[in-house]
Structure 1
């Protein structure tokens, strides 16, 4: 394929990890938008798919303004059968993916392309721009002629033999099943930068939801229109029984966010399944792998996250030149909200997980949050998702729940169907709260890093009506301005305070009614900060995030070495050093870098015992067939140990284990996780015991 198609392959891979990046698809058009539409190219595509032979044939009639030589890009995998310019056949120049047509003077032109080609079969290991098989297919980019990267509108009519069906983002304006074929037409009315078609042996289930829906023609103060939106699942037969449950959850999520934010911005929402083990987000549509949809927790977590992207990232677009706020805000309003509702400690546990992830991030890979654009590796997720979500946790604490909720609705009202940047969020929160928040946005978004706090010189003095606890708060580096929770434990109970720290070395004094026994700062992890050593318990990311990590294979059996190398590459990347542990077993000295130790249970147990590396506690080691745990060597060196009963058991976790890098331990039975979690937190420098006041 030509260069343009290679670029397309990277684009679909990026979509697989960055959810919610597609253009908006709206059905109602304002006069202002009408002017934009009059200039936008329009594609009218008639598409015929034959999955059994991987064949695609298409006619794309493109209407656009232009003059001189018009250049379109279409993957050179497709055979061009004919081109007509303004109704007349024309010769073209084709070089790789580029197609050049001489158009003459400046005018509104119609260019009709007819082309066909055989697509690659779909595989779960290689995401290209397009693929087609009987079990499923997708067309992302490179499959229709594009004149530029500018937004466009489209009508796409798809025909495919039953039992296969097809779906694309947009409004369905025609759908039939006859003569052994499925036919449907999808339309956008407002320019978008993507056109993706999915196909597979789908069973379609539908539910109508009466909901307040945003219209582009409605003034911001006008009451939203009450209308039915169509909720659909396009599920393969093996998961078709789950459709009703997914539709019910979808309806509840949409109702939830209508209450919290404002009217739903699209005419429907589709959940599409398929063989790819990824999540792809579009306006009014999400594609999720069939095996992923089977997991019971998806409808409680990831589904809500994807639906919320209809507001944040789609209806309110992201100005990527000034950073991506949408992933962090969506994580805060979806994942974090769900965690807080699931259990009493759910929100605290998620905040601690974010801080633990950040503690594993090497300083060289840290970036200001405003530099985050998309999740293209583990480190970017820690900044763009975790840290930004934590930013909103602190912002809500700063201005209060009511002001925060007003700001969210105000931000939506002012920016729906537009592109927004961080400055627009700051404006909404300042207006809703009446506070100047420039310092807050600046220190948390424009600075890399995080504050660290240490209690110094704690002192207790007896007063006439109780006790006074004083202490000095040390901050490392440039000080942050932070509202810091402080808890003083006394013989009669705990007392909570909030102090505002502005500089390094500030002394604070707190009064309590009975004798204090301990002093803790931020014990519930409510401030984004660096954890102390006792709080930052080992996780797999301590090793997988380091650019210096290596993997050592403990054992000599060929099948074990093969599986260990595959696992090491899955955890550390294809270029990471993977070598035999034998020389280090003899010397008793490990390389001074973060390490993954991989081997069979019978061999790795004596190996780590000789080196003084902590084993997995017996309560976990007694169950399962494979184990992974994060720990530290006696000198503090980060270590991940992966042990299995056999080479086969090791091979069964190659695909699954990288998804648990945020955990301290994982126990597998085959590819199924039967237990996972993090090690208990120990009090660090953020808690001190208080000596009783001196007598006399």
Structure 2
């Protein structure tokens, strides 16, 4: 569960200052006794309003105040009065009493009060709907921790007033406290801890928070902000990730909006699952913090709230603009940075259609906070789309400058939708107030229809608003393509009021020429109701349905667990729960959940048949060979094995009798997993199918069904067109943690002609290994060679006339030691070879003899990525097991450097490594894709690769086999699983053209990001990986050492799993190009021998000589043909 409940600025009216112009100030000394829930305090209030001769405040009923200054104190409201305090989020009310201080002789300041008592409000479930309920408390003091805020009424503060404060907090030894503002003093007195917090000058607050526990603290300071992390366990690696992310996001938003408004930002771990954003800190639950994707998805949302909501406050009577704007500039921005902005907006529109049913809609001006799926779809989703449409209306720069002007003008003031419209409109030179009003005061959403009157010389495109409500004021992008060009053109149609104030329902425009295709709003830039054909059926469709039925399996031995799940989903709305025996067929008037085992457990045979006919068979999501078969899997459906007893499957379909309704099947044998399904499924609303594993259960697969043809899409008969592409850049990007400039500089140094290609035995390679050792030392790695230095040296005998006998070689080894005694003797090994071909040995291409081979991609890029990753980890990471960085020599010479490491390393034996990662040729990502070769060497690697992509946003294509043949191969022979990271082959491979100017700098950042996440995971993983290698059983895996002597010129697709070898590219002026081979061709056989895979293809070529003519069987677009090719010398 992940919620964003902004507790710091949710007042029903705008807070005010007093007549003096200065906010009230509170000085409080607080003593906490968590073991008993007790609190006592003494508070001094100064600059108090004096006009009414009294000061009124609410206080928690567990506290009894006393007045220590002049005047009188009386209770003015009965203790039975309850309220939810400052927050408007769903919250169990807390009993409060209202008190009045009457001033003596018109003296109003200072007011000195004290109080003591117990505050222990229990956690309870609040909110409505299956997807919106969560645990919350208005405030509590207990052994697990302390949570006090405005809703607690724990201090004598007037409502609807902003104030400054100073807190001195007295806690048990080992405890610390967190609040907004600046921490001034931390000290110890006897068996107590003393912490001082003070609000920042000129930044009055709407409430005072106090969070306390036995925290482990971490911090990192820059010129902009002090990043802080407070965790309940000592987890420096987790803290380092959040410290790093905090600095990234603060810098990004400071550039986009304006200076960060506070001196610190802290991540604080709560003792229950929460997602609270307070001024200058966020309070997240223990599971939430450790979800791997949170740092990239929801954490920026929390940081951004310090601009929107926690410094620019919300004028709630006019509507909460804050959540939608924050979601747009955080959640949406991060997806847009991944190239998935249109997908995110589609999901927003889909959620509106799923949850905002008749009677649940309301205008944005009435939104205060989310408490249901419908309120979220309006207050977050519709509002988010409002900002997106304004951005497109005024342009990127005007939108950014308008936000900056708005922030500058309203910092620490309340603001309304109108104020934002005026700020952006003033910068853009247009009046946005009326336009904004038309969207904040209306309910509903437009629906569109496209019609095309196509002609040979001209055509007319017509867009019509077809919803029942009056037309909306809106701009609609129309993309179209003519038959004479593949270029997509765009026309913006603007529905605006005419002279009579009426908006026309229909707009059309004429196009000169013959139309090929039309796409209306293909990137979901317009807030509208989607047509059913534009989106697949999803889980959210059922949870958002106005009427639902949940069918229980009467024959299931897990019936009680299924009933508990159903009851947890039936707490809100029209939801019926029935046994299958009560039905003869699937109801036709409501959406339906059908619960049970994979074999359903449905007693009624007629009903069971109907379910199977109308359910999984149509989508091929079913049991196959006692395993789950997913739509993306190919026979035999066992890689990876998805056993029905270990996995729970969920799938939804359109109702066969009414496409506006949905049927969902939840199938699971594991009773222990069913409560987890009850909690988790409401948060997977955008998906059509899910697969979960284990008792937790953990999601291991998810997806959406393909959609149909949109009614807003038109294509001329007999014409096929490529979809238009959204080339927009995001409004901002987080700054890279990794230094791209330094990496490209490292590549440049290693690939410089002065290094002469770093050939084995050369002075250039000797210089390069010394240079790497110097970098290891600067980074702070410990020497890892057997003699205590960075160098492991050895000699090799002559294997070629080009090399002398006894050539000296050396690996460079640097270490980050492990901290867990049980694991520190094990290692994660990272390999990147420094050597290359020098002037063309041992793998020179004909005509390149004697020329310098710079080896920028192969493998200066790998060394640069390894160095930058080591830099980032050495200063912040304390791994459980040892991480070893090895810059090998003689990789190009039959992997001798890696073999030497295995033979000589005794302190951390290679056979005990959990895994190995070879970084080889990773500098051409812009021309290819990141490949993880050899993921089949351990059953976990496919899941690790998928998880890293989800966590970092950097996807690697997992390739089960290992056709790469780099330094990981000798480890495979030991039975140690591992992968090679590479961006794939290219025309310059092992050629003089592999120069530094062709290396993709941004791509290396992505590779290093992926590598670091892999190392963080592997170094802290407790269990070993499950090796699938034969070598693990003691049988050595032999690797052919003979190289190929011939050159064909095909660039293979390493990730392809089809028959033969798919060609990803063809080298210019090669035999393959001369024979007419091209990208996408598939090589099926060579001289009558079937090509099984890439390794078999390579072995066939090794048997041939230059000048041989071979017969290739090629498959191209479904057709098969033969071609003769004359091979050249390699």
* TM-score (normalised: structure 2): 0.53
Query: Aligned partners of 1:348 and 1:92: how far apart in 2?
Result: 57
Give the 3 Å change call, closer, same or farther, for CA 491–170 of structure 1 in structure 2.
same
Name whichever of 653-662 and 486-495 sits farther off: 486-495
CA deviation profile, 1:213-246 (whole Å, cap 9, x unmatched): xxxxxxxxxxxxxxxx322111111544311221
2:597 aligned to which of 597, 600, 623: 600
Report the count of equivalent residues: 642
**Structure 1 position 19 matched with structure 2 position 6:** yes
Query: Aligned partners of 1:273 and 1:487: how far apart in 2?
Result: 51
The aligned counterpart of 1:626 is 648
Name whichever of 547-556 and 283-292 sits farther off: 547-556
Query: Aligned partners of 2:222 and 2:486: how far apart in 1?
Result: 50
1:673 aligned to which of 699, 707, 711: 699
Query: Aligned partners of 2:418 and 2:160: how far apart in 1?
Result: 26
Query: Aligned partners of 1:161 and 1:603: how far apart in 2?
Result: 55
2:686 aligned to which of 654, 658, 662: 662
Q: Displacement, 1:350?
A: 0.4
Residues 604 and 643 of structure 1 are in contact (CA less than 8 Å); yes or no, is this contact kept in structure 2? no
**Structure 1 position 638 matched with structure 2 position 662:** yes
Q: Displacement, 1:491?
A: 7.2
Give the 3 Å change call, closer, same or farther, for CA 239–364 of structure 1 in structure 2.
farther
**Structure 1 position 202 matched with structure 2 position 215:** yes
Q: Displacement, 1:137?
A: 2.3
Q: Displacement, 1:68?
A: 6.5
Residues 643 and 650 of structure 1 are in contact (CA less than 8 Å); yes or no, is this contact kept in structure 2? no
Q: Displacement, 1:363?
A: 3.3
Residues 485 and 526 of structure 1 are in contact (CA less than 8 Å); yes or no, is this contact kept in structure 2? no
Residues 83 and 91 of structure 1 are in contact (CA less than 8 Å); yes or no, is this contact kept in structure 2? no
Name whichever of 200-209 and 91-100 sits farther off: 91-100
Query: In structure 1, the residue corresponding to 2:62 is in which secondary structure?
Result: coil
Residues 328 and 388 of structure 2 are in contact (CA less than 8 Å); yes or no, is this contact kept in structure 1? yes
The aligned counterpart of 1:215 is none
Residues 520 and 687 of structure 1 are in contact (CA less than 8 Å); yes or no, is this contact kept in structure 2? yes
Q: Displacement, 1:578?
A: 4.1
Q: Displacement, 1:447?
A: 2.1
Residues 40 and 114 of structure 2 are in contact (CA less than 8 Å); yes or no, is this contact kept in structure 1? no
**Structure 1 position 250 matched with structure 2 position 233:** no
2:491 aligned to which of 470, 489, 498: 498
Q: Displacement, 1:34?
A: 9.3
Matches within 5 A, 1:91-490: 95-96=78-79, 97-98=96-97, 99=99, 102-109=102-109, 110-117=111-118, 119=120, 126-140=135-149, 141-188=152-199, 189=201, 190-211=203-224, 229-237=225-233, 239-342=235-338, 344=339, 346-360=340-354, 361-456=356-451, 458-463=452-457, 468-477=458-467, 478-480=470-472, 481-488=474-481, 490=483
CA deviation profile, 1:37-61 (whole Å, cap 9, x unmatched): 64x4443222222223333233333
Query: Aligned partners of 2:172 and 2:253: how far apart in 1?
Result: 38
Give the 3 Å change call, closer, same or farther, for CA 614–488 of structure 1 in structure 2.
farther
CA deviation profile, 1:172-210 (whole Å, cap 9, x unmatched): 222224534321111225442211211112111111121
The aligned counterpart of 1:221 is none
The aligned counterpart of 1:76 is 61
The aligned counterpart of 1:535 is 534
Give the 3 Å change call, closer, same or farther, for CA 689–94 of structure 1 in structure 2.
closer
Give the 3 Å change call, closer, same or farther, for CA 600–520 of structure 1 in structure 2.
same
Structure (1 or 2) with the larger CA radius of gyration: 2
CA deviation profile, 1:322-346 (whole Å, cap 9, x unmatched): 111111111111111111112x3x1
Query: Aligned partners of 1:546 and 1:195: how far apart in 2?
Result: 40
* TM-score (normalised: structure 1): 0.85
Give the 3 Å change call, closer, same or farther, for CA 576–162 of structure 1 in structure 2.
farther
Matches within 5 A, 1:41-56: 41-56=24-39
Name whichever of 650-659 and 109-118 sits farther off: 109-118
Question: Structure 1 stretches of 5 or more lacking a match?
Answer: 1-12, 25-31, 212-228
Residues 121 and 138 of structure 2 are in contact (CA less than 8 Å); yes or no, is this contact kept in structure 1? no
Q: Displacement, 1:17?
A: 4.2
Give the 3 Å change call, closer, same or farther, for CA 21–432 of structure 1 in structure 2.
same
Name whichever of 471-480 and 252-261 sits farther off: 471-480
The aligned counterpart of 2:960 is none
Give the 3 Å change call, closer, same or farther, for CA 525–577 of structure 1 in structure 2.
closer
Q: Displacement, 1:444?
A: 3.0
Query: In structure 2, the residue corresponding to 1:237 is in which secondary structure?
Result: coil
Query: Aligned partners of 2:10 and 2:279: how far apart in 1?
Result: 7
Query: Aligned partners of 2:669 and 2:271: how far apart in 1?
Result: 30
Question: Structure 2 stretches of 5 or more lacking a match?
Answer: 80-95, 126-133, 496-503, 623-628, 632-641, 720-1130
Q: Displacement, 1:604?
A: 5.6
CA deviation profile, 1:460-482 (whole Å, cap 9, x unmatched): 2223xxxx232332221423342
Q: Displacement, 1:90?
A: 6.9
Residues 519 and 689 of structure 1 are in contact (CA less than 8 Å); yes or no, is this contact kept in structure 2? yes
Name whichever of 331-340 and 566-575 sits farther off: 566-575
Query: Aligned partners of 1:545 and 1:182: how far apart in 2?
Result: 49
Residues 23 and 314 of structure 1 are in contact (CA less than 8 Å); yes or no, is this contact kept in structure 2? no
The aligned counterpart of 2:714 is 688
Query: Aligned partners of 1:123 and 1:589: how far apart in 2?
Result: 36
Query: Aligned partners of 2:49 and 2:525: how far apart in 1?
Result: 54
Identify, as 1 or 2, the structure richer in strand. Answer: 1
The aligned counterpart of 1:217 is none
Give the 3 Å change call, closer, same or farther, for CA 203–427 of structure 1 in structure 2.
same
Query: In structure 1, the residue corresponding to 2:456 is in which secondary structure?
Result: strand
Give the 3 Å change call, closer, same or farther, for CA 238–104 of structure 1 in structure 2.
same
Name whichever of 525-534 and 494-503 sits farther off: 494-503
